[in-house]
Structure 1
Amino acid sequence: MSDSDDEHSPPVLSAHALAALQEFHRETAEASEQRDPFSLGAMEEDWGMSQFWYNDETATRLAEELIHEAGEGGRIACVSAPSVYQKLKQGVVDGSDRVSAMVLEYDRRFAAYGQDFVFYDYNEPLRLPDHVAPQSFDIVLADPPYLSEECLSKVAQTIKYLSKSKVLLCTGAIMEPHAKELLGVEMCGFLPQHNRNLANNFRCFVNYPSCLLSG
């Protein structure tokens, strides 16, 4: 074998290094299997789909609000808000076992949640499966993926179709005039936070009396 052949031969791991690498892969696989599928961050954000997950404190606060407003046996719809759906399903928020929740999402990774998942494309706001009946949810949480009047207008159609009355909207403060016009909501004092800091001033809006209004 020539010196040139030696230079281009792939490196060979020692038996010790190979064993360590195999152990690392085994532990990583086991950790992945043991991870709570409903934990925040169980699925990575896809910025290409404008995904920004709430931090744990915000997801918990919003989940508590939804449970309180849905009431005993209530139904909750999370539209483009999977991190709050995950918090509801973790079973760590008081009362989460007394409500049911669905997640409407464009990202098909969330199909892992079975019958709770509904594929949702805001460009077709009323294209929903038959088992999602109109005005069948006690409260709807929606977080439109884009800060545009066009996006909010279409998501508002979905919200009105799903909700019996109560709406909790999370979007940029810049959307306040359109949100009021489309959904009759009022800006809250509570400031939602994300795992990654967003440049936009992000707020919550409700159309019912809520403790979120005062912060």
Structure 2
Amino acid sequence: MSYSDDDSEELQLSIEAQKALKEFYEEQNGKLLTLCDDKKDVSNVQFDEDWQLSQFWYDENTCEQITKCALQKVGIHGTIALISCPTLYKAFKKKLPSISIKLLEYDKRFSAYGTDFIFYDYNEPFKLDKELLHNFDLVIVDPPFLSEECLTKSIQTAKLLMKNYVILCTGEIMESIAIPLLNVHKCSFEPRHKNNLANQFACFTNFSSELD
């Protein structure tokens, strides 16, 4: 395939635009980490989505519906693990501060959440501390990538963490893989994101709830 001079110029502009955007995010995230290092309250800190990590934050209604469902299922003193869904952490801490919660996440910016943060790489689904195994009343998992490998490995982690209940949020196209792997059913509730995605999302649970 050949490119014209105009094509080359557009490609160069695209590369420069991506570089500028990356630098902007790094600058903004650096400021956020400075706030955290100063031991200021991080509950209101806004982390930018990192598209290179396939990060897309839930909208407010999605956070509201999932936290409401969790409260009804595990109560105010339940234990919850969040796998690759950092948007929910702040929602839970705001609405249900008494719940014991852990965030398993690859993005180390979220280490600002202290001991509630656990570094997690879905490529190593079994790399977990023993005290975490089968220690959570509810596990909520949102694999970062719409691939069979990512979904399968994230589910392997979820199974190791959960006592009983699980909520899976992922692309609707993963339904045929998710249901037999996790023994879940599709709910009528549809998770949505602040920045609308082209992919249709779906919610799956292994229990009956208002999400059905």
**Residue 79 (structure 2) pairs with residue 80 (structure 1):** no
Which residue in the other structure is 2:12 paired with? Answer: none
User: Structure 1: any 5+ residue segments left out of the alignment?
Assistant: 1-28
Which structure has the larger Rg?
1
Supply the distance in 2 between the matched residues of 1:123 and 1:33 (Cα, whole angstroms).
Answer: 31
Q: Which 5+ residue runs of structure 2 have no aligned equivalent?
A: 1-30
Q: CA RMSD in A?
A: 1.9
SS of equivalent residue, structure 1 residue 193? coil
> How does 1:48-197 map onto structure 2 within 5 Å?
48-90=52-94, 93=95, 96-132=96-132, 134-197=133-196
Runs of 4+ aligned structure 1 residues displaced above 3 Å come to 32-36
**Cross-structure match for 1:200:** 199
Give the aligned residue type for 2:65: R
DSSP-derived class of the 1:147 partner: coil
Deviations 1:134-166 (A, max 9, x none): 111000000000111111110111010000110
Identity over aligned pairs, percent: 46
Q: Which amino acid aligns with 1:179?
A: A
Match for residue 38 of structure 1?
43
- SS of 1:140's equivalent in the other structure is strand
What is the one-letter code of the residue matched to 1:83? Answer: T
8 Å CA contact retained: 1:111, 1:117 = yes
Could you say what secondary structure the match of 2:137 adopts?
strand
C-alpha separation in 2, matches of 1:88 and 1:175: 26
Deviations 1:58-93 (A, max 9, x none): 112111212221224210001001101111112xx2
Deviation string, structure 1 residues 101-134 (Cα, Å, up to 9, x no partner): 11000000000100000000000001023442x1
Task: Report the Cα offset of residue 56 of structure 1.
Answer: 1.2
User: Is contact 1:107–1:119 with CA below 8 Å preserved after alignment?
Assistant: yes
Per-residue deviation at 1:36?
A: 6.0
2:73 match: secondary structure: helix
